[in-house]
Amino acid sequence: MPSPSVRAAIIDDEMHCIKTLQYQIERGFEDVEIVFTTTDSAEAKALVDQHKPELIFLDIEMRGMSGLQFLAQFEDIPFKVIFITAYDQYAIKAIRLNALDYLLKPVNKTELEQALERYVRERDKTTKEQVTQLHLFSEKKITDTIALSASQGLFFVKLKEIMYLEADDCYTHVMMNDGKKYLVSKTLSIFDEILTDDFLFFRAHKSYLINLSYIKQYVRGDGGEIIMNDGRRIALSRNNKDNFLKLFTRV
């Protein structure tokens, strides 16, 4: 990884998790300096004020004060957070929906490397709004907003205002109902995992994820073709045709 070095910290109530992650970082990432670790989330705020890390690896669920309660102590969050979590689809969906980074326990070396490379490349700080949205998800209060991380910054948009998403290699174009378009540095598959179970989105084609509310017309054919409200014609994959028609009649 390129210089300058990254000042990082680890907050986790399981010491063996801290030791494992610290070992991985110190052995594999010489430009990352661990300035402190702690299993006591209640004392973590004072340690942050003292050591001023740029990046914190933070466990979400901890005894006493949770990771989200720890973050709530900051009026403006002065660092980037990479959340550490056990395997929980709901938690992961909530984190992804808010454009936040996470690592699964036990931490995979490749995923750790990718997360650190993203941080070095973007140097973005975690925002208070991202954490607020994540808190709502943790309370099982599904919000109607998604965070889009684009080159111009972080945009919070209403899910119901997204017309469709179009794949562009490792990027995704997000088309809004007012004609605005965002280029996001995430694959369409990530959005597919986030949006298709709980929200009104459907993977019509390998390159398109559509909001069913904005379908203008379905044209019959081998797979068929979907015409969106803005006139965009989207080929429907033959493999997805039956599932689409079932959804379409239900809507």
DSSP 127-138: PHHHHHHHHHHH
Task: Work out the percent of the chain whose per-residue pLDDT is above 70.
Answer: 96
Residue partners of 62: CB distance under 8 A and separation at least 6? 11, 12, 13, 41
Predicted confidence (pLDDT) at residue 104 exceeds the cutoff of 90 = yes
Give the pLDDT of residue 152.
85
Contact by Cβ (8 Å): 188, 140:
no
* pLDDT tens, position by position, 12-39: 999 999 999 999 999 989 899 999 999 9
Overall average pLDDT of the 118-143 stretch = 86
Rounded Cα gap, residues 35 and 212, in angstroms: 49
Is residue 46 very low, low, confident or very high in pLDDT (cuts 50, 70, 90)? very high
- DSSP 3-state assignment of 200? coil
CATH 3.40.50.2300 positions along the chain are: 6-138
Predicted confidence (pLDDT) at residue 2 exceeds the cutoff of 50 = no
What count of other Cβ atoms lies within 10 Å of the Cβ of residue 239?
11
Which pTM does this prediction carry?
0.84
CATH 2.40.50.1020 positions along the chain are: 150-250
Nearest-10 crossing angle of helices 109-122, 15-28: 70
Q: Which CATH class is domain 6-138?
A: alpha beta
Phi, psi of 167 (to 5 degrees): -75, 145
Rounded Cα gap, residues 106 and 92, in angstroms: 15
**150-250 CATH, one of 3.90.170.10, 2.40.50.1020, 3.40.50.720, 3.30.1490.20:** 2.40.50.1020
